[in-house]
Structure 1
Amino acid sequence: MLENGDLIIRYLERLGVEYVFGVPGGSIEPFYNALARSEKRGGIKAVISRHEAGAAFMAEGYARETGRLGVCCSTAGPGATNLITGVASAYADNIPILVISAQTALDRFGQGSLQESSCTSVNTMEMFARCTRYNTFVSHTAQLETKLLQAVSYALGNQPGPSHLGIPLDVMRHPVSDDSSHHNLRAFTHHDVAPSPDAIQLLLKELSSALKVTVVLGEGAAEAADILISLAESRHWQMVTTPRGKGIVDSYHPLYRGVFGFAGHESAAEALKTKNADLVLVVGSALDEVSTSGWDTTAILSERLIHVSRNPEHLTRSTMARLVILGSPKLTLASIAGALGVETGGGFVSTTEQHSQLPLQIRLDNRTACENVSGSIKPQALMTYMSRVCPSNARVLMDSGNSFLWGIHHWNIRRYEHQDPSKKYFHIGIGFSSMGWAIGASVGVAAAVKNTPVICFTGDGSYLMAGQEITTALQENLNLLMVVLNDSSLGMVRHGQGLSGGESIGNSLPDINFADMAKAMGIESYRVETMEELFSVNLHAILAKTGPCLLDVVVDRDEIPPMGSRMKVLTGSI
C-alpha cells in the first residue's frame, strides 16, 4: 500500500524530476519516507540544503538547467517561511518550480501544535499567495491528485513560476492504492503558443521593409537563438541582449553589440538609437527596469518596438509598441525565416585566436583594467581571465551585488557549433536579486549537469549570508567552483552610497579568510590576492574533477562597477 507522498513522487518521476531539494522535519516526514522508497529503487533523490531558501534556489537552478520542473519542500512553520525568499525569486524570474510545504495534522489545527502554520496560526498559505502562480491547501486526500496536476500545469505554463501545495501531515501519510498516478500528463505540460497568421504577416511586412533593425534577445529568446542569429546574419541586423539574455550570443560575433540595460554596454545603447534602428525587435524579454536601462524611452520603449513573447505578462509592458505578438519565439521566427528564404544554423563561430583578446565590437567601460595584472586584483581582469580559461560549456552564475554587475559587463561568452544553441550557460537571478541566490542555484545546476563544471561568482556579503550551502555540494560530490569576490564590504551598497552622495553606513564587513573557512569544512580552497597567484592556480585540473572548490579572491574594492542605469533609478534622475 502506498501513501500520498508516494503518489506525488510517482508523478514527479514521470515528469523526469531527479531531485527534491529541502530540509526534513516532523510534519514533512511522510514525504521524506516516500523519497527514501523512491531512492532505494533508483528514483528521485533527496538533496538536503542547509536552509530552506537555499533549497528553493537549488530547485530554481535545476529548472533553469534542465527545462524540467524544479522541486523543493519544507516542514511546517519556519521551514515554510524560510522557503519564501527563494520562491519569490523564482516567481520574479518566471522559473517553474513545485513547492511542497507541510502543515500539522488537520485535527490539531488551532490547538497550538509545534510549528503550526495553519489558517488558525501563522498563516503560511497567505504568505505564499503573492509569490506563486498557483497556491492551494490540500484539505482532503481526494483533492491531492487533481491539485497536483493543476500545480504542474500552472508552473510549466506560458507564465511559468512557482506552484505551492500546502499538505497536512495526515493527508500526506494517507494510504492510496497501488494503481494511482494514472493520468496522462501531456495536457499539463505542453503549452506552446502558435502566433496568429495575421500577426506573422504583419511582422513579415515590417521586417521586410525596414532598412535597419536591431534585435534584442531576452531570456525567452534562447529557444529561437539559431533562427534569430541566422536572420541577423542574412539581413545584417545588429544584435544586443538583455542582462538575462546574456549568453545566448557569442560575445565575439561581429554583429553583437553587447548587453543593453543593467550593467550594459554603450555600444548596445548606440545600436538601439533611432539613427541605427528603424525597428527594434525584442524577443522574450519582460521589459522591466534591468532590460530597458531604467525604462529609457529613447531605446527599446518607443513606437519602433516590435515585441514577441510567449508570456502574456511580458506584453503588458509594450503599450507603446508598433506590433505585439503573443506566441512561441521559435514558431514565430521560423515562419519569418522561411518566408525570407533564410537557412538557419551554421553561421559565425568564434576562434581561439579571438579569445586571447577582448571583443572589439563591444564598447567596454575601462578596457585597460581588463588586462591589468599588476597590483591588487581588478574585478574586470578577474572576469576577463576567468572567461578565457574556463571551458565554454561551463555553467556560470553571478550573484546579486557587484558580482553580477562585473559579470554582465565583462564576462565574455564563447559558443561553438557542437553546443545546443538554445542552452544558456550564463545565469543571473536579477528579478528579485536575492543575495546568496547564485550559491544555492549553482548547487541545483551542478546536480543537473553532473560532471560538467559549474562556476559561481559571489560576494563576501552574500557568502556570509548563504555560503554554508557549499557543504551540500561537498556532500553530493558536485563539480562546483565557488569564487568569492572579497572586498570586506557590501560593495554595491558602498559604491551606491558614494555615487548618490549618500551617507556611508552599514557597508563594512570584517576581513575574513574564506579559504580557511572552506578548509575547515573539508573543501579544497585557495586564497588569491594577485593575478600572478591566480595564474598559478590550476583551474583546468580543478574544473575537471568532482567535488567543490573555493577561490577566495581579494579584489580592488575601489574599482567602481558599471551601475549607472541603476543609480538613475535610485536617485530619481529618470
Structure 2
Amino acid sequence: MIENGDLILHYLQRLGVKYVFGVPGGSIEPFYNALARSERRGGPRAIIARHETGAAFMADGYARETGRIGVCCATAGPGATNLVTGVACAYADGIPLLVLSGQPAIEKFGRGALQDGSCTGINTVEIFTHCTRFNTLVSHTAQLEPKLLQAISYAISNRPGPVHLSIPLDVMREAIDPSEDKGQLRAFINHEVTPSQEAMHLVLKELADKEKVTVVIGEGAAGAIDEILAVVESRNWLFVTTPRAKGLVNCFHHRYRGVFGFAGHESAREALLPENAERVVVIGTALDEVSTSGWDTSAIMSRRLIHLSSNAEHLSRSFLARLCILGSIELMLKPFAALLERSPMRKDQVLLQDDDGLPAMIDLANRAKCLADSGPVKPQALMTKVSALCPDDTRVLMDSGNSFLWGIHYWNCKRPKGFNRHRSLFHIGIGFSSMGWAIGASVGVAAGAKGAPVVCFTGDGSMLMSGQEITVALQENLNVLFIVLNDSSLGMVKHGQQIGGAERIGHALPKIDFALMAQAMGIESYRIERLSDLDRIDIPGIVSRPGPCLLDVIVDPEEVPPMGARMKVLTGAQ
C-alpha cells in the first residue's frame, strides 16, 4: 500500500518533475513524508524555501527553465495564504504551476482547528479562486486522482497557469492500492492545433506583396523562433520583441530593432511606424500595457495589425486587427521551413555591433552612459559590462522595479545559435510585478538549469523583502550570481514620484551592506563601489561553478531608468 502523497509524486515523476518547492508544516506533513520516500528512491525531492511566497517564485522559475510544470506546497492557513502572491505572479504571466496546500482533517472542519483554512474557517480555497486556472478542495480519496489529472491538464493547456488542490490531512495520508496510479498522461501532450487553411491563406495573402513588415515577437513564439527568424531573414523584414520575449533572440541580430513596450527602445517604436511597417505581425503575446507601450496607437494598436497566437486570451483585445489567427505558430510555419532554409533571398543572421561593442541597430537611451567607468556606478554601464562578461547561455532574471527597467533596455542577450528554441535567456515577472520575484525564481531556474549560469538582478528593497531566499541557493549549492542594485531607496517609486510631480514620501531605505549580510549567511560576496571593481572579480568563473555569490553594487541614485511609457499611463498623459 501507498499513501495519496505517494500517488501525487508518482504522477509528478512521470511528468519529469525533479523538485517540489515549499515549507513543511503540520497539515502538509504526510506529503513531506512521501517526499522523503520519493527522494530515497530517486524521485522528486523537496527544496525548502524560507517563505511560501519564495517557494511559489521558485516553482515559477523552474517551470520557465524546464518547460515542465512547477510544483509548490504549503501547510494550511497562513502557509496557503503566503503562497498567494507567488501564485498570482504565475497566473499573470501564464506559468504552469501545481499548487498543493494542506488542510486540517475533514472531521475537524468547523471545530476551530489550528490554521483552519476550510469553508468553516478562513476559506483558503476561495482565496485562490481568482489566481488559478483550476481550484478545488479534495474532500475524499476517490476525488484525488481525477482532480489531480484535471488540474494538470488545465495547468499545461494552451492557456497555461497555476492550479490549486487543497488536500486535508487525513486524505493526504490515506493508504491506497498502488494500482490506483492508472491515469494516462498522454492526454496532456500535443495540445497545439494548426490554424485553419482559410486562416493561413488570409495571412499569406495579406503579406505576400508587402516589403515593409515588422514582426513583434512575444513570449508565446518560443517554439517557433527559428522559423520566424527564417521568415524575417528571407523577406528582409524588421523585427522587435516584447519585454518578456527579449531572451528569445540575439540582441546583435542585423534585423533586430530592440524591445517595444515597457522600458523599450526608440528604434523599436520607429520600426512599427506606418512609414516603416505596412503590416505589423504580432506573434504570441497579449496586447497589454507592457507589450504595447501603454497601448500606443501609433505602433501596434492600429488597423495594420495581424495577430497570431495559440492562446485565445492573447487575441481577446485585438479588436483593431485586420486578422486574428488562433493556432500554433510552429505548426503554421512548419510546412514552409525547408523552403525558407533554401530561399536564395535569405540572408542568415549577421551580428552587428558598433566600435564600443554595443548593438549597432538598437537606439539605446543615453548610449554614452553604457561605457561610463568613473564615479558612482551607472546602472546602464553595469548592465552592459556584466552582459558582456557572462557566457552566451547565461539565464538572467530582472526583479520588479528599477532592475527590470534597466535590464529590459540595457541587458544584451547573446543567445547562441542552436540554443533550445523553447527556452528564454531573459526573464521578468512583469505581469503582477511582485518585488522579490527574481530572487526566488532564480533559485528555481538554477535548480532546473543543471549548472548553466544564472544571474539575478534585484534591488535593495526586494532584498529587504525576500533576501533570505538566497540561502536556499547556498543549501542546494546552486550557481546563482545575485547582483543587488543598492541605492538606499525604492528607486522606481522615488523616480516615479519625481517625474510625476507627486509627494516625495516612503521611498527612502537605510544604508545596508548586503555583502556583509551575505557573508553572515555563508555566501561569497563583494561590494562594488566603482565599475572598475568588477575587474578584480572573475564573473565568468563565478557563474560557472557551484554555489551562490552576491555583488552589492552601489549604483548612482540619480540615474533615472527608462520609465516614460509607464509614467504616461500613471499620469494619464498622451
TM-score (norm 2): 0.98
In structure 2, C-alpha distance between the alignment counterparts of 1:136 and 1:189, rounded to whole Å:
23
Aligned-residue offset at 1:342: 5.8
Q: Check whether the contact 2:439–2:467 (CA below 8 A) recurs between aligned residues.
A: yes
1:174-206, Cα deviation, whole Å (9 max, x unpaired): 111021212210112331121111111111111
Is 1:350 the equivalent of 2:351? yes
For residue 439 of structure 1, what is the aligned residue in structure 2?
439
In structure 2, C-alpha distance between the alignment counterparts of 1:33 and 1:127, rounded to whole Å:
27
For residue 118 of structure 2, what is the aligned residue in structure 1?
118
In structure 2, C-alpha distance between the alignment counterparts of 1:23 and 1:438, rounded to whole Å:
19
For residue 409 of structure 2, what is the aligned residue in structure 1?
409
Q: Check whether the contact 2:216–2:241 (CA below 8 A) recurs between aligned residues.
A: yes
Identical residues among aligned pairs (%): 64
Residues 217, 555 of structure 1: CA spacing in aligned structure 2 closer, same or farther, 3 A cutoff?
same
For residue 42 of structure 2, what is the aligned residue in structure 1?
42
Q: Check whether the contact 1:222–1:424 (CA below 8 A) recurs between aligned residues.
A: yes
Please give the residue correspondences for 1:98-247 in structure 2 after superposition, counting only pairs within 5 Å.
Answer: 98-247=98-247
2:447 aligned partner, one-letter code = A
Q: Check whether the contact 2:233–2:347 (CA below 8 A) recurs between aligned residues.
A: no
Q: Check whether the contact 1:349–1:416 (CA below 8 A) recurs between aligned residues.
A: no
In structure 2, C-alpha distance between the alignment counterparts of 1:304 and 1:360, rounded to whole Å:
27
In structure 2, C-alpha distance between the alignment counterparts of 1:460 and 1:474, rounded to whole Å:
20
1:372 aligned partner, one-letter code = A
In structure 1, C-alpha distance between the alignment counterparts of 2:234 and 2:391, rounded to whole Å:
29
1:551-571, Cα deviation, whole Å (9 max, x unpaired): 000000100000000000000
Aligned-residue offset at 1:448: 0.4
- Equivalenced residue count is 573
Secondary structure of 1:89's aligned partner? helix
In structure 2, C-alpha distance between the alignment counterparts of 1:320 and 1:233, rounded to whole Å:
28
Aligned-residue offset at 1:421: 3.4
1:46 aligned partner, one-letter code = A
Secondary structure of 1:31's aligned partner? helix
1:87 aligned partner, one-letter code = V
Residues 242, 560 of structure 1: CA spacing in aligned structure 2 closer, same or farther, 3 A cutoff?
same
Secondary structure of 2:47's aligned partner? strand
In structure 1, C-alpha distance between the alignment counterparts of 2:295 and 2:338, rounded to whole Å:
34
Secondary structure of 2:386's aligned partner? helix
Q: Check whether the contact 1:200–1:335 (CA below 8 A) recurs between aligned residues.
A: no
Secondary structure of 1:541's aligned partner? helix
2:496 aligned partner, one-letter code = G
In structure 2, C-alpha distance between the alignment counterparts of 1:161 and 1:560, rounded to whole Å:
34
1:24 aligned partner, one-letter code = P
For residue 476 of structure 2, what is the aligned residue in structure 1?
476
For residue 512 of structure 1, what is the aligned residue in structure 2?
512
In structure 1, C-alpha distance between the alignment counterparts of 2:189 and 2:434, rounded to whole Å:
29
In structure 1, C-alpha distance between the alignment counterparts of 2:207 and 2:497, rounded to whole Å:
44
1:419-450, Cα deviation, whole Å (9 max, x unpaired): 23332111000000000000000000000012
Q: Check whether the contact 2:455–2:480 (CA below 8 A) recurs between aligned residues.
A: yes
Aligned-residue offset at 1:346: 9.2
In structure 2, C-alpha distance between the alignment counterparts of 1:153 and 1:341, rounded to whole Å:
35
Secondary structure of 2:439's aligned partner? helix
In structure 2, C-alpha distance between the alignment counterparts of 1:537 and 1:431, rounded to whole Å:
34
Is 1:368 the equivalent of 2:375? no
Residues 292, 342 of structure 1: CA spacing in aligned structure 2 closer, same or farther, 3 A cutoff?
farther
For residue 316 of structure 2, what is the aligned residue in structure 1?
316
Secondary structure of 2:456's aligned partner? strand
Aligned-residue offset at 1:139: 0.6
1:176 aligned partner, one-letter code = I
Q: Check whether the contact 2:234–2:340 (CA below 8 A) recurs between aligned residues.
A: no
Residues 536, 341 of structure 1: CA spacing in aligned structure 2 closer, same or farther, 3 A cutoff?
closer
In structure 2, C-alpha distance between the alignment counterparts of 1:512 and 1:487, rounded to whole Å:
9
Q: Check whether the contact 2:211–2:237 (CA below 8 A) recurs between aligned residues.
A: no
Q: Check whether the contact 2:216–2:283 (CA below 8 A) recurs between aligned residues.
A: yes
Please give the residue correspondences for 1:551-566 in structure 2 after superposition, counting only pairs within 5 Å.
Answer: 551-566=551-566
Q: Check whether the contact 1:460–1:487 (CA below 8 A) recurs between aligned residues.
A: yes
1:510 aligned partner, one-letter code = P
In structure 2, C-alpha distance between the alignment counterparts of 1:416 and 1:437, rounded to whole Å:
26
- The worse-fitting range, judged by mean Cα deviation, of 116-125 and 413-422 is 413-422
1:350 aligned partner, one-letter code = L
Aligned-residue offset at 1:249: 1.6
1:1-55, Cα deviation, whole Å (9 max, x unpaired): 1010000000000000000000000000000011100000111110000000000
Residues 356, 334 of structure 1: CA spacing in aligned structure 2 closer, same or farther, 3 A cutoff?
farther
**Structure 1 stretches of 4+ moved >3 Å:** 335-346, 353-356
In structure 1, C-alpha distance between the alignment counterparts of 2:342 and 2:322, rounded to whole Å:
24
2:134 aligned partner, one-letter code = Y
Aligned-residue offset at 1:340: 6.7
In structure 2, C-alpha distance between the alignment counterparts of 1:341 and 1:33, rounded to whole Å:
53
Residues 71, 472 of structure 1: CA spacing in aligned structure 2 closer, same or farther, 3 A cutoff?
same
Q: Check whether the contact 2:195–2:332 (CA below 8 A) recurs between aligned residues.
A: yes
2:52 aligned partner, one-letter code = E
For residue 281 of structure 1, what is the aligned residue in structure 2?
281
Root-mean-square deviation (Å)? 1.5
Q: Check whether the contact 1:204–1:336 (CA below 8 A) recurs between aligned residues.
A: no
For residue 250 of structure 1, what is the aligned residue in structure 2?
250
Q: Check whether the contact 1:231–1:342 (CA below 8 A) recurs between aligned residues.
A: no
Aligned-residue offset at 1:347: 2.4
Aligned-residue offset at 1:333: 2.5
For residue 15 of structure 1, what is the aligned residue in structure 2?
15
Secondary structure of 2:470's aligned partner? helix
For residue 73 of structure 1, what is the aligned residue in structure 2?
73
Aligned-residue offset at 1:393: 0.5
Secondary structure of 1:455's aligned partner? strand
Q: Check whether the contact 1:346–1:417 (CA below 8 A) recurs between aligned residues.
A: no
In structure 1, C-alpha distance between the alignment counterparts of 2:350 and 2:170, rounded to whole Å:
57
For residue 496 of structure 1, what is the aligned residue in structure 2?
496
In structure 1, C-alpha distance between the alignment counterparts of 2:335 and 2:464, rounded to whole Å:
50
Q: Check whether the contact 2:218–2:244 (CA below 8 A) recurs between aligned residues.
A: yes
Q: Check whether the contact 2:354–2:360 (CA below 8 A) recurs between aligned residues.
A: no
1:83-113, Cα deviation, whole Å (9 max, x unpaired): 0000000000000000000111000001111
Q: Check whether the contact 1:484–1:551 (CA below 8 A) recurs between aligned residues.
A: yes
Q: Check whether the contact 1:350–1:414 (CA below 8 A) recurs between aligned residues.
A: no
1:430 aligned partner, one-letter code = I
TM-score (norm 1): 0.98
Q: Check whether the contact 1:403–1:485 (CA below 8 A) recurs between aligned residues.
A: yes
Residues 377, 188 of structure 1: CA spacing in aligned structure 2 closer, same or farther, 3 A cutoff?
same
Gaps of 5+ in 1: none
For residue 325 of structure 1, what is the aligned residue in structure 2?
325
Secondary structure of 1:415's aligned partner? coil
In structure 2, C-alpha distance between the alignment counterparts of 1:192 and 1:555, rounded to whole Å:
45
Aligned-residue offset at 1:350: 3.2
Secondary structure of 2:246's aligned partner? coil
Aligned-residue offset at 1:162: 0.2
Aligned-residue offset at 1:286: 1.1
Gaps of 5+ in 2: none
Is 1:423 the equivalent of 2:402? no
